[in-house]
Structure 1
């Protein structure tokens, strides 16, 4: 815990796919761990996460509801709080390929995260899209 501000330091974001969040389980009774969810990695392994890093294509923007719907190769996921993200406005156009870091709010029926940071990756979207699943798998193998 940071005694100056009274806040706990968050662990770094974990790269995940929306399909993995759909099957995540909430870590009940472990509020002090800072890791609110367990994401299944396969082979019976799981990883505790609170802050996630995701990438996807903007499918729908609802400025009035402060949300955007993104889609990665495993499905769609919602992102809330997009209107208050610094430099987030350029990301809020249908068809853009973006990265988003955020806190998991819900996993079912569709994953929803509260955005902390967003960035437009559209300029090199083809490369980012190809590499994303490999980046997710590599990081998760290192962390598990």
Structure 2
């Protein structure tokens, strides 16, 4: 599935919901444009997806606003987010224990995934439900993408 603007801009893939383990186990490289594209194995199915912009959810483990980064944990492991000081309304999300959503551009995937944040949102008010449903949402989306 590709998205393209009416101004003839290059088509780009929409963000894909992923787990940190999928990024850690991915294969990929920097594309000619300098962006990282990874091939991840679909959750709960066979086949592969190519991703460069992802949507992840996790609990804030450590916030380092002086270093413009945060460490998050999902059910499959840690992942790092950079550029957090540049996100509007991102700072209230950065307290340890908060459950957050982050959309970001993949910077690297090994030894731990690193994303440059594009958007963050605090999901702590209903964290139990978000946490419980996340893996199913990831699997459902990945199953429907071609």
The TM-score, its normalising length taken from structure 2, stands at 0.87
Q: Deviations over 1:106-144 (max 9, x none)?
A: 100000000000000000000000000000000000014
TM-superposed deviation, 1:8: 3.1
Q: Does 1:105 align with 2:82?
A: no
Q: Name the residue aligned to 1:24.
A: 26
User: Structure 1 residue 9: deviation in Å?
Assistant: 4.4
Note the 1:56-71 alignment, pairs <5 A: 56-71=58-73
**Contact 2:80-2:113 within 8 A present in 1 as well:** yes
1:135 aligns with 2:134: no
**Matched residues in 2 for 1:2 and 1:107: separation?**
29
Partner-residue secondary structure (3-state), 2:14:
coil
Contact 1:35–1:48 under 8 Å retained in 2: no
Deviation at 1:10, TM superposition (A): 2.9
Partner of 2:48 in structure 1?
Answer: 46
User: Mind listing any 5+ residue stretches in structure 2 that lack a counterpart?
Assistant: none
**89-98 or 34-43: bigger deviation:** 34-43
Question: Hey, what's the Cα distance between the residues in 2 that align with 1:67 and 1:49?
Answer: 22
Give the root-mean-square deviation of aligned CA atoms. Answer: 2.3
Please give the TM-score of this superposition, normalised by the length of structure 1.
Answer: 0.89
Matching of residue 8 in structure 1 with residue 4 in structure 2: no
Q: What does 1:109-128 correspond to in 2, within 5 Å?
A: 109-128=111-130
Structure 1 unaligned residues grouped into runs of 5+: none
Match of 2:97, SS? coil
1:105 to 1:64, Cα distance in 2 relative to 1, 3 A: same
Displacement of 1:35: 7.3
How far apart are residue 20 of structure 1 and its match? 0.4
